[in-house]
Amino acid sequence: MTIKLSIISGHDLPIADRGGTSDPYVKVYSIGALKSYVARTKVIDANLNPVWNESFIFPGLRGCKLIFEVYDHDSISKNTKIAHAIYDMTYFEMNTQVDLSLTKDIPKGGNNPRLRIAVSVQPDSPKALPSRGVAPIKAPMYLSFDPDNSIDINPPFSKVRGVPYLIPYNLSIIAFIPSTGAYHVLNNDNRLINGAVHSGVHPCFSIMSFSEVIRLEASELTAAKYGNLFVVLSTPNFEPISKYFSTGNITIWVSQEKAKQNVKGDVIQLEGKEFKFLSLTPVMRIPIKVTKEATMVVAATATFPDSNSISFSVTDFQFPNESHLDYTITPQTAHFAAPFILQLFGHMGALQAKKYPSFPLCVPISLDKVFSFIGSPRTSIISGQLVNIKEHKFAVCALDYAFAPKETSLGNTKRLLEGAIELSPTSFNINLSSIPDDIMYIVFSIAGTQPMIEEGVKSKNIILGSLTNLINLNDPASTPLVILTSNGTQELMNFAFPRSKLNNSLVWFTLFRDPFGSWAVLNMKRPFDAKEENAIFMQSISLTQNMFKAFQFK
């Protein structure tokens, strides 16, 4: 979609000059995968109520959140920023005039400063683009997604700390390093790897709708030794994709940007007086058609013919898939799908020696059907522990058949369910054979007051952008933080839980009675934000209930 922005006028602006006035002009940035400098008005001399009536057009792929900065022009010294405002297209009504309240950046004047603007969008006309046989792409590029059907985006699909998150699907990249067997996942929670950046919670416009956007730069990716990329589309709440759409297209856009402008927070600058860096040209379209059950699609793979280009191939592999373990094991996110995908596409390499467990389960099956237990599964002891944890602890909630809580505990050392569960703040043991008959679900969450990214940080003085020098935020082979075992020997799960920058808690997994009278495990890995004890349990129960309802588990 194309955005048309009109900057109409300012009112009661702050005073920057000694004469009791200002010489204002406005600079505009859009926030998406990167920050783009998209517009600048002319200077209005000596006026606190200026009228500009200027319009600008730029691609919505750059982002739907606009930052307005009002400056006082000074021909002798440095220009001074006097006020600013943010316009989020997911909040404000479009196609009409809006008075934005400005936040003052200087103290004098401006009792009620405002900026009048108007924003409208125009859907682009989809062009016939090839899906195969496209020459390797050399310029920095962007990826976006459009469903073929319209998705309801009002009210917001969900919220992350009050920020509207309108898109009911996730666009991710799995980047694989063949020489070491390491891989990294780029998604809306881990927005930055070398050579790639994700728009995260900043929605952008694609051709016909809102979209997450990923920016790739071949030279930086190859310098980081990446050899293969996998483009993944999934749902954030583990529901089948078909609930929202059955067909769609991932579009690849080529930009005219300079190289090495791929750092989150960098500003795509103007070249001279023309907006050359803002042009984006679609060059390839990857079609997607999902099955009724699919929760994740590997839409395409990419390789690097040389150090400065990327070549894409359509794959369309889906989870669940008839060829994939008879619908029994399905990764829930790109993060956990990576070992499966690398194995299926013949890129396991060093990963094979690490013996990654076949978890999490999205379509669960009985524990005794997956693992060879010592003795009877009925008397198996399931144990878990948190490793290298300072800020988080276990929250356990036992539910009956109607999802009503029967017993709960948050970070306490105690015995639950008549001694069937022995719990400490960072470990537990469960005797499956001793759980009372009226208990159907046992939900294990990891709760804390700090964002999960705080765990594993060695120095509080290190900024977030440098954390990757200390801990690998995307690699499940990094320092394990959550471990689940059976009978002390059979390792069920061992991975670093997602170090979210936004959320402080996580529904880890749920044990539940399956239709065959045994116990099954469902790995949730569903982050949420709650600090009070009651809110933690409410969120854990709600997320678990929604998960089971989505797949009609009975």
Q: ω into residue 320 within 30 of 0, thus cis?
A: yes
Residue 235 DSSP SS3: coil
165: three-class secondary structure by DSSP: strand
CATH 1.10.150.300 fits 2-122, yes or no: no
Mean pLDDT, contiguous 10-residue spans, the chain (554 residues): 91 91 93 88 94 91 91 88 89 81 92 92 78 81 88 48 63 90 86 89 84 92 93 78 87 82 60 60 90 83 92 82 42 68 62 36 40 42 75 88 90 85 85 85 87 54 29 40 61 59 80 69 77 89 79 44
Residue 499 has φ and ψ, to the nearest 5°, of -85, 80
Q: The tokens of 121 are what?
A: 């969008």
- Largest interatomic CA distance in the chain: 88
Burial readout 414-445 (b: 16 or more C-beta within 10 A, e: otherwise): eebbeebbbbbebebbbbbeebeeebbbbbbb
Is pTM, for the whole model, over 0.75?
A: no
As given in the structure block, the two tokens for residue 302 are: 């990419």
pLDDT at residue 70, rounded to an integer? 96
What CA–CA distance (Å, rounded) separates 201 from 193?
17
Q: What are phi and psi of 374, to 5 degrees?
A: -85, 115
Nearest Cα residue to 365 out of 526, 546, 547, 523: 523
Considering only CA atoms, give the Rg of the chain.
26
Q: Distance of alpha carbon 396 from its chain centroid, rounded?
A: 26
Question: For residue 473, what are the CA distances in angstroms to 69, 466, 467, 507?
Answer: 34, 11, 8, 19
Q: What is residue 354's predicted lDDT score, i.e. its pLDDT?
A: 37
Backbone φ, ψ for residue 72 (5° rounding): -100, 120
Is 2.40.33.10 the CATH number for 141-354?
Answer: no
Contact assessment for residue 395 and residue 537, using Cβ atoms and an 8 Å cutoff:
yes
Q: Which fold has domain 367-550?
A: Lipoxygenase-1 (2.60.60)
Supply the pLDDT for residue 519. 73
From CA 482, how far away is CA 494, in angstroms rounded?
6
Residue reference for tokens 């109607």: 402
Distance CA 313, CA 149 (A): 24
CA separation for the pair 109, 111 (Å, rounded): 6
pLDDT (0 to 100) of residue 473:
36
Ranges of beta strands (E only) in 178-239 are 182-186, 192-193, 196-198, 204-205, 210-211, 214-216, 228-234
Q: Print burial letters for 103-126: b (CB count within 10 Å at least 16), e (below 16).
A: ebbbeebbeebbbbbebeeeebee
Residues of the chain with CATH 2.60.40.150: 2-122
How far is 158 from 160, CA to CA, in rounded Å? 7
Task: Locate CATH 2.60.60.30 in the chain.
Answer: 141-354, 367-550
Tell me phi and psi for residue 380, to 5 degrees: -70, 145
